[in-house]
Chain A
Amino acid sequence: MTAPQGLHFKTSVLILIMISVAPLGDTFLGKGMKQVGGMPSWAPVDLFQFFFRAFTSGTVWIGIGLLLAYFVAYLLVLSWADYSYVQPASSASYVLIALLAHFALHESISPLRWLGVAVICTGVFVVGHTHPQTPEHHSW
């Protein structure tokens, strides 16, 4: 087990990587899926064709690659930090997603939605000031 300061530092670094890489991946995914077109129905043939188009899109694969990098950082941080700490802390990426959606994908975002994103980030800030690890017995 590392000292509390070291623990906070490596947790912060990995969460920083997570909140930088994930929004980029999400933006590429969003752009790729808009190029693919809307999901037509739940019919197996339609779903197969839809996901075939999705997984032959280069833009979607760039998004998947970035999200895989996020996933590795996520796995590492979960090896010592509480899930209930990591999950909300990583949601700081929502500000970046909103900014990227607005400036890169040219989506219109209502003031109320911006307010929602700001409130989410305030929640993240509050969670980020709790200790990342609260060890108890794992019985599950």
Chain B
Amino acid sequence: MVVTQTILYLLIVFVGTGGELCVSRAMKTIGEVTDFRPHSIARVVGRALALKRMWMGITLMAVAFFALLGMLSLAKVSFVFPSTALSYAAGALGGKLFLRERVTPQRWFGVLLVCIGVVLVFIGNG
């Protein structure tokens, strides 16, 4: 059971983050959304769905979602969601490495706090 939960956890954190990085890159290709009327939002979603990178992201996020469903069937909600916050560290690192975002020291500090919080959630699960 521990092995199953570990595999599911790694899928949620790393495959999920990979998917979100793909989606983020795809949305930056489309550009800033300034019109929030329903038909304009539908048009933006339509343009997004025409991008290969968006589908790559959706596929990876779908795998992570299936893993999440599996994890939720085995562990408490109050453990599963806070513990997967580890993806914030992976996300900040991925944002810097793959999307060339400038992650400021303050933002790194915030991410570090999130990671410490995740460790406490893990210890508190015992």
Contact = CB atoms under 8 A, between A and B. Distances in A.
A66 interface: no
A91 B84 CA distance: 10
Q: Could you say which of B21, B41, B80, B121 has the most chain A C-beta atoms within 10 Å of its C-beta?
A: B121
B77 A27 contact: yes
Interface in B30-65: 30-34, 36, 41, 44-45, 48
A105 to B, nearest CB: 6
Interface size class of A (residues with CB under 8 A): 35 or more
Contacts of B107: 84-85, 88, 126-127, 130
Given A75-B48, A82-B101, A136-B102, A116 B119 contact: yes
Interface size class of B (residues with CB under 8 A): 35 or more
10 contacts: A26-B81, A30-B80, A38-B74, A79-B28, A84-B101, A88-B91, A109-B78, A120-B114, A120-B121, A134-B103
The 6 closest A-B pairs by CB, nearest first: A123-B113, A116-B120, A112-B124, A113-B124, A120-B117, A126-B110
Given A83-B91, A84-B99, A91-B85, 19 more contacts: A30-B72, A33-B73, A34-B73, A51-B69, A75-B45, A78-B27, A80-B33, A82-B99, A83-B94, A83-B99, A84-B111, A101-B78, A109-B124, A113-B121, A120-B118, A123-B88, A123-B111, A123-B115, A136-B102
